[in-house]
Amino acid sequence: MTISQIALWGLVVGFIITLIMVTGFAYTTLFERKLLARLQVRIGPNRVGYIPLPSRKGKERKLLGGFMQPAADAVKLFMKEDMTPAKVDRVVYFIAPMMGVFTAIVILAVIPWAGKLPGLPEQYQYFAIAPNINVGVLYILAVTSLGVYGIVLAGWASNSKYALLGGIRATAQMISYELAMGLTILVPIMLANSMDTGKIVAAQQGMWYIFVQPVAAFVFWVVIMAELQRAPFDLLEAEQELSAGFTVEYGSMRFGMFMMAEYMKMVSFSAIFAVFFLGGYRGPFVDQVPVLGLVYTTLKIVLGLFLMIWIRASLPRLRYDQLMAFGWKKLLPISVINFIVVGVAIVLVEEGFFDSLIAAMQRTIPFLG
């Protein structure tokens, strides 16, 4: 393929995935509200858009209750008065919400959605917007780091001490947990011996890394919850002295864009977790039927969303001092120790340090041979 063909491929596939994300994130909010209602034994959205069915024994029956609730919420946000506070930095104030949405979308460029699909160009070993990028993991780290700018700039440009304090606290939280994230991501890189996300998925053909490295998987999951500022790490939206943190001066659809970015990042981080620890698109019969990779990737993303919502419904919110102490005093040391142990173990295996031990075990225990 020529450079222009590669660019056209990325443009077309990127447009399709972006369109799915932009239209589908709204139903992530409906999924969350429905699931929270079920977990907390209460009634969720059940009115807007339902299809009436013939009653049975005088009882009203509904199909797809609440299906159009996301559309109603979008109309409400667009119709709200869009006020811009005086003395804000208008350019930065308007750009900040867009940065959050932008980073949530572009992070999907290196996610392998499926294996070698029929009709895929020969040099592409898996289906992605930008496949075969040998620094895909580095790209993910770079894009996730850019999310900090949208938050701190939103707080600074609002010309409000409450928004500024909220932005600084959110930035401190994200930077603190990104240190543990970087060290944890090194674990699947070392195990697969590659920074190409497609090769990391391929290396999990025998066993997913969540079973090989459950400690790294746990730390990474906690870190992405903190990065998303989801419960129990969502204190920036709850502290009374911050008045909703860095979004306090935003209204209408500008506020909606911050919420839009949050739910898009939930999908993006669930996809990243699936790539690093859940085998990505790998699953039963995926080699015989490559299209199943799309199904497995979707199911693993939905599983990640379910866990995020379940955690929100179950755990109490941390105080800010507890949040920072947990990041610096618990997660960071665990990720450092785990990184060292994995590195040493890989070197010892490559040097044949355990060969004699394995041979002895095979002689002692017949079925190991």
CA distance 109 to 128: 7
Do 104 and 71 belong to one domain? Answer: no
> Token pair of 245, please?
């943190």
What is the band of 259 on the pLDDT scale with cuts at 50, 70, 90? confident
Specify the higher pLDDT residue, 198 or 67: 198
Residues 298, 325 share a domain? yes
pTM of the model: 0.90
Same domain, 198 and 52: no
Q: What pLDDT is attached to residue 189?
A: 95
- CA distances 123 to 52, 126, 127, 130, 131, Å, are 51, 9, 11, 12, 9
Whether 2 is in a domain gets the answer no
Domain with 118, as residue range(s), is 80-368
Within a domain: 9: no
Domain boundary among 28, 51, 75: 75
In a domain, residue 5? The reply is: no
- Same domain? For 67 and 147 the reply is no
In a domain, 7, yes or no: no
Examine the domain organization and report whether 175 and 61 are in the same domain. no
Ramachandran region, residue 117 (left: φ > 0; alpha: ψ -120 to 50; beta: rest)? beta
Query: Within this chain, do residues 226 and 147 fall inside the same structural domain, yes or no?
Result: yes
pLDDT confidence of residue 45? 87
The 10s digit of each residue's pLDDT in 195-241 is 999 999 999 988 899 999 999 999 999 999 998 888 888 876 665 55
Prior bond of 232 cis (ω within 30°)? yes
Domain match, 163 and 276 both: yes
Same domain, 176 and 274: yes
Q: What is the pLDDT at residue 309?
A: 94
Q: How many domains would you assign to the chain?
A: 2
User: Does 193 map to a domain?
Assistant: yes
Stretch 131-146: mean pLDDT, rounded?
Answer: 89
Per the CB < 8 A criterion, the answer to whether 29 and 67 are in contact is no
Q: What's the pLDDT score for residue 271?
A: 95
Interatomic CA distance for residues 211 and 158, integer angstroms: 46
3 state DSSP class of 52:
strand
The answer on 90 and 64 residing in a single domain is no
Distance CA 211, CA 215 (A): 9
Q: Are 126 and 201 in contact (CB under 8 A)?
A: yes
* Residue 286 confidence (pLDDT) above 80: yes
In a domain, 331, yes or no: yes
Which range (15-29, 108-122, 232-246) has the least confidence? 232-246
**In terms of domains, do 96 and 169 share one?**
yes
Task: Tell me the C-alpha distance between 284 and 245, whole Å.
Answer: 45
CA distances to 67, 77, 217 from 73, in Å: 12, 6, 35
Q: How many CB atoms lie within 10 A of CB 317?
A: 15
pLDDT greater than 60 at residue 181: yes
Confidence band for 273, pLDDT divided at 50, 70 and 90: very high
Do 183 and 226 have their domain in common?
yes
Token duo for residue 363: 């002689």
**Of 139-143, 233-237, 361-365, which gets the smallest average pLDDT?**
361-365
Which of 31, 50, 75 is the C-terminal boundary of a domain?
A: 75
Q: Is residue 148 part of a domain?
A: yes
Are residues 165 and 33 both part of a single domain? Answer: no
Short-list 228, 357, 312, 343, CA closest to 36? 312
Q: Is 348 inside a domain boundary? A: yes
Q: What is the mean pLDDT of residues 251-277?
A: 91
User: Do 279 and 208 form a contact (C-beta atoms < 8 A)?
Assistant: yes
Q: How do 51-56 and 59-63 pair as beta strands? A: antiparallel
Classify residue 26 as exposed, middle or buried by CB count within 10 Å of its CB (0-12, 13-18, 19+).
middle
Q: CA dihedral in degrees (126, 127, 128, 130; nearest 10)?
A: 60
Tell me the H-state helices in the chain.
Answer: 3-39, 69-79, 90-106, 136-157, 161-192, 197-202, 209-212, 214-228, 252-277, 292-314, 320-325, 332-350, 355-364
CB count within 10 Å of CB 331 equals 23
Q: What is the pLDDT of residue 368?
A: 43
